[in-house]
Amino acid sequence: MVVETVDSAEVAATLPLEMSAPPPGEGPGLGARLASADAFVVVTPEYNHSYPAALKNLIDWHHKEWHAKPVGFVSYGGLSGGLRAVEHLRGVFAELHAVTVRDTVSFHLAWSAFDDEGRPLDAEGAGGAAKTMLDQLAWWGGALRAARAARPYGS
């Protein structure tokens, strides 16, 4: 398994807000990197009961790259742990023909959920949630990869 990281804050600087033209220099092959992925984990904070504009911009500039692929979520924030942001993202990814996995990893009151080294204070809880979400993501990733190979997805 190969894991790649895309930082929406870095990518957002290269993507214009208006979508009337192709994106200028969206970073080294970002569209191709997204297209080649079998699954995604989106990490998001919650701002004003939703997710950041930079993430929305990155998602919106790509369309077919998300088709028939699973998406898992890690969220963080205040009392809700970013879960309201995740609920908003589920609708966005449904529109893009992606499948979101049910279980998430969320960090409630995130500023007090980690030690000085950045490790979760409840490592067992976070690890268990991550295992559940990643197991679901792996199952859907394999199933949808096989389905796309047998019959290309068309929307």
Q: What is the pLDDT of residues 42-92, one digit of tens each?
A: 999 999 999 998 899 889 888 899 999 999 999 999 999 999 999 999 999
pLDDT of residue 7: 76
Q: Alpha-carbon distance 112 to 108, whole Å?
A: 8
pLDDT of residue 31: 86
pLDDT of residue 94: 98
pTM of the model as a whole: 0.88
Q: What proportion of the chain, given as a percentage, has pLDDT over 70?
A: 86
Q: Alpha-carbon distance 32 to 13, whole Å?
A: 19
- Average pLDDT estimate for 129-153: 96
Q: Alpha-carbon distance 9 to 57, whole Å?
A: 10
pLDDT of residue 19: 59
Ordered structural domains, the chain, with CATH = 32-150 (3.40.50.360)
For the packed helices 83-95 and 53-60, what is the interaxial angle rounded to 10 degrees? 20
What is each CA distance from 133 to 92, 115, 137, in whole angstroms? 19, 23, 6
